Amino acid sequence: MLLRVVIIGAGGHAKVIIEAVRAQGGEVVGLVAQANDSAPVLGAPILGGDEVLPALRAQSLDAAIIAIGNNALRERLGRKAQSLGFALPHVVHPTAFLSPSARLGAGVVVMARAVVGTDTSVADLAIINTAAAVDHDNSIGLAAHIAPGCALAGTVRVGARALVGVGSALRPGIRVGADAIIGAGSTVVADVPDAAMVGGAPARPLRRRDSL
């Protein structure tokens, strides 16, 4: 159960996480963001930039949630928070369905009406976004993002930091490589290599991303 947390990030993704934390009965003490983001977000104050994290930890605030949409940046900030001694609790909205045999890593976020199916594993800092359906025996990699409305059939493997775009569908057994991007509304019927960008129905290669 969530208690008192600080959220790192103050954009739209942070708003959704604030509401999910509160729906679980947790308290958002405040947000860590750039100094020019001074206005409260859904009533949660901006506490300062990254420089305030050591002081917050010293004040016995021991849990942080990374509310950053960029996958690579979310991974880096998560590791920084852990290095300072923060725990990274997972957030599961009360309206989500989480199978009893599903496994969630540190800092995972499962949004409203999402489904995480039987014997599925979701690695640290991954996002299963609003109304996404991740069926049985899936493996979702470190800091990956399954966007709203996606449908992943059984035994899909999604690599670290990959993005599966809004409303995409993946057939059983698909492998999506690390750092790949699947465009919104795509139908994926073939494996996607590392760092590739694909889109369409059926999804076709667009280009390869530069190395991260």
Q: In sequence order, what DSSP letters do the residues of 70-108 get, joined into one string?
A: SHHHHHHHHHHHHHTT-B---EE-TTSEE-TT-EE-TT-
The label of the residue with tokens 């708003």 reads 15
Neighbours of 7 (CB within 10 A): 26
The label of the residue with tokens 């206005």 reads 39
Q: In whole angstroms, give the CA distance from residue 92 to residue 174.
A: 25
Residue 93 annotated to the active site: no
Pairing state between β 196-199 and 204-208 = antiparallel
Q: What are the residue numbers of the active site?
A: 136
